[in-house]
Amino acid sequence: MSLGAVNPADGLAMAMVVILVLSFGVVALLVLCIKRNGKQAETEVERLLEELRREEEEEKHPAPPSGTADAREPWEREEDWWKRG
């Protein structure tokens, strides 16, 4: 069967099948890209949510005072500076 022996109706059917297969391929590629990018975005969102959780935990449990008077920085006041006077 040579290329010239394909009648117009068969040529149209074959062209439509090729277009249909290419269309499904494009749709499948889009779905794959969306799925892959969606997973990456979730990890970014999860990372940000975890950072927020850690910050909230730190706010609930503040760090202990810097320690004894010897370990205090020169610019730090004593804890009860406001009681003196």
CB 66 within 8 A of CB 72: yes
pLDDT at 70 (0 to 100): 62
pLDDT at 27 (0 to 100): 98
Average pLDDT across each block of 10 residues of the chain; the chain has 85 residues. List them in order: 78 97 98 86 82 88 59 77 74
pLDDT at 52 (0 to 100): 92
Q: What are phi and psi of 57, to 5 degrees?
A: -60, -40
pLDDT at 65 (0 to 100): 59
pLDDT at 64 (0 to 100): 59
Q: How many CB atoms lie within 10 A of CB 55?
A: 10
pLDDT at 10 (0 to 100): 93
